[in-house]
Chains A and B, each alone.
Chain A
Amino acid sequence: MSKIILETRGLTKHYGGVHALEDADFILHDGEHVAVVGDNGAGKSTFVRQVTAVEQRSSGEVLFDGRPVHFSGPLEAREAGIETVFQTLALADDLDVPSNLFLGRELFKFKLGPFSWLDRKTMRDRTLEALKTTAVKIPNVDNPIRNMSGGQRQCVSIARTAAFASKLVIMDEPTAALGVQETAQVENIIRGLKDRGIPMILISHNLRQVFDLVDRIVVFRRGRIVASLRKDETDGNDIVSYITGVKGTQDSVPAQ
């Protein structure tokens, strides 16, 4: 197997007395797409928030690209090469598509501190390019995204992630609020990432989608990782058994 891009050892997060994440050992290889599934409150999002440093972990280790890391915030994680699509969209509604894609990493004609001159044409061209490679159709990228549908906005958010993805992409329920067509678009973007060999962690409730897209499925239950299964070694029923606790817990009753 190729090298390990992300590893967590004993990753734990307590909110006061609530043990949201307990002792999570997780490995992601380069180029691998892994789904994280589990019931609501199973610790999926908590896990992601620790990895991307949106929150600071209670204990445990995170190794990224072979080195132990301690990001102080999501920005540092992004600079290290972890691109994340969060459940709540991090988009500026009043800006157009190129401005959102390049928010915080604008291109310049010349630099002059805060008064640096924006290279709007190149940013626009690259945006169209990025949207093309991700097959996202936005009728007019010059309009503020406020006027766009939820799906289009999500696609902008994901296109941004895909366009700048370098080492690792994390998506937290990217299709939760989308229609059928838009979901298909997002799934195409994810397949594109696979072709480019960029590893991904996908949080999803949609098992059909999970089986369609990823190589391996990791199941969370009550803050613990209870299973890590290769897609071809398992099936939907098996995964559901782990999610609901029929399998994988000491007190589970074996099926008759």
Chain B
Amino acid sequence: MAEAHGLGGLKYDPAKRTRAPEWNVFGALVLIVVIFEVLNRVNGGSFLFNMRDNVDAIFNQQRLDIMILQVAIVGIISLGVTQVIIIGGIDLSAGSVVGATAMVVMSFAQTAMVNGNPNPKAIFGDWAMDLPVVVPIVVGLACGLGAGMVNGLLVAYTKIPPFIATLGVMVSARGVARWWSNGQPVSFPTEGYGALANGDIMGSLTFGLFSWQGQNPAVIFVILAILFHVVMTYTLYGKRSYAIGSNEAAARMSGINVDRHKLLVYTIAGVLAAVAAVLLTSKNLTAQAGMGVQYELDAIAMAVIGGISLAGGRGSIIGTVLGAAIFSVIISGFTSIRLDAYYQEMVKGAIIVGAVVLDQWRQRTRARG
């Protein structure tokens, strides 16, 4: 039954279920971890494991924590970007939306008194001080919702290419972030707001069974990843997304309201960017206009590394989570072998390009002969 198929005469047996490409990504992740472990061992250290005698632990907890935290916030953005890419679009605005949302959110999360003095960074008057935590969260999500809707409306109803539409929003949203407080940082949030990212949500969720202090972004990332994995796999939303990314004309012919669905997907991506902004400001206890710069590219890179096809229609949330893990391992790995930050950037760029080249190559391999 096997027939020659695609590039290099790869065998494709139509009776067999094709292996999920996520396994390849997972393999790459393991391989990269092993490589960094070996590189560290050569220098007498370890990438993953604890080498200090005075600490009783198997793993290098510090590095793992940093790695997980690094991946979580951009990972949340990447969940939304993934969905946008799957419907055949692109979202360049995510990083700037994080910046703008951060500024706005923080203005509603400030505390009135800092060390006995009035908050020196106060944006609004007393009415906006010491608000319940839910207020900045709602305001933040609303910001993301708005930005996402602008993206969605532009893409779905003006029919301009998503690249241009979201590029415009990217530039404008960064402008909003700078204009908000004339470029000044917004700082000193309430204790409750700081606890959003620095607290122990894992402990509350499991009634103290597990505790993971300071890793709330990671916990929320995992919860959101599971949620969107389920939504993309088992619900009409996912089916429509893949159908539109795969063949928009066919989707339209089949009665799918393509424009409305695009609006929904871009809006969800905007909200996820806002979630990231809330966690980021809570983590750092401050908001700056430059927050989230290049996050959109990191998020796209995570998705692409995870096997999401930029042509749309292919890829999965699991792939993106693995892609995010690879991304984070690479950065931590470079730090662990003391590669200079400048080189890191250069290599990061090369990896993004490499992943897209791989994606193109994969597409050609899969194209029917």
Asked if B213 lies at the interface with its beta carbon under 8 angstroms from chain A, I say no
Asked if B131 lies at the interface with its beta carbon under 8 angstroms from chain A, I say no
A93 touches B235 (CB 8 A): no
Q: What is the interface residue range for chain A against chain B?
A: 20 to 34
Asked if A144 lies at the interface with its beta carbon under 8 angstroms from chain B, I say yes
Instruction: Chain B residues near A142: list those with CB within 8 A.
Output: 17
A144 CA / B15 CA spacing, docked (Å) = 12
On whether A94 and B17 interact (CB within 8 A), knowing A75-B255, A104-B254, A114-B261, the answer reads no
Q: Kindly identify which residue among A78, A92, A106, A120 contacts B242, using a CB–CB cutoff of 8 Å.
A: A92
Main secondary structure of the interface of A (DSSP, over half): loop
A15 CA / B330 CA spacing, docked (Å) = 59
A118 CA / B243 CA spacing, docked (Å) = 14
A99 touches B236 (CB 8 A): no
From residue B250, how far is it (CB to closest CB) to chain A in Å? 4
From residue A124, how far is it (CB to closest CB) to chain B in Å? 13
B314 touches A94 (CB 8 A): yes
Tally of chain B residues near chain A (CB < 8 A): 33
A146 touches B366 (CB 8 A): yes
A194 CA / B236 CA spacing, docked (Å) = 34
B368 touches A147 (CB 8 A): yes
Instruction: Chain A residues near B313: list those with CB within 8 A.
Output: 92-94
On whether A93 and B16 interact (CB within 8 A), knowing A105-B255, A115-B235, A139-B1, the answer reads no
From residue B94, how far is it (CB to closest CB) to chain A in Å? 22
On whether A120 and B234 interact (CB within 8 A), knowing A93-B313, A94-B313, A146-B366, the answer reads yes
Q: Kindly identify which residue among A74, A118, A140, A147 contacts B366, using a CB–CB cutoff of 8 Å.
A: A147
From residue A143, how far is it (CB to closest CB) to chain B in Å? 5
Within 8 A of A (CB), among B308-353: 313-314
A–B pairs, 10, beta carbons within 8 Å? A92-B250, A94-B242, A103-B250, A116-B235, A118-B235, A118-B236, A143-B14, A143-B17, A147-B5, A148-B14
Other A-B pairs, 18, CB within 8 Å; known A90-B250, A118-B235 = A74-B253, A75-B255, A92-B242, A93-B246, A94-B246, A95-B242, A95-B246, A99-B242, A99-B243, A103-B239, A104-B255, A114-B261, A115-B237, A116-B235, A117-B235, A139-B1, A139-B14, A150-B368
Return the 5 tightest CB-CB contacts between A and B, nearest first. A104-B254, A94-B313, A92-B246, A104-B255, A94-B246
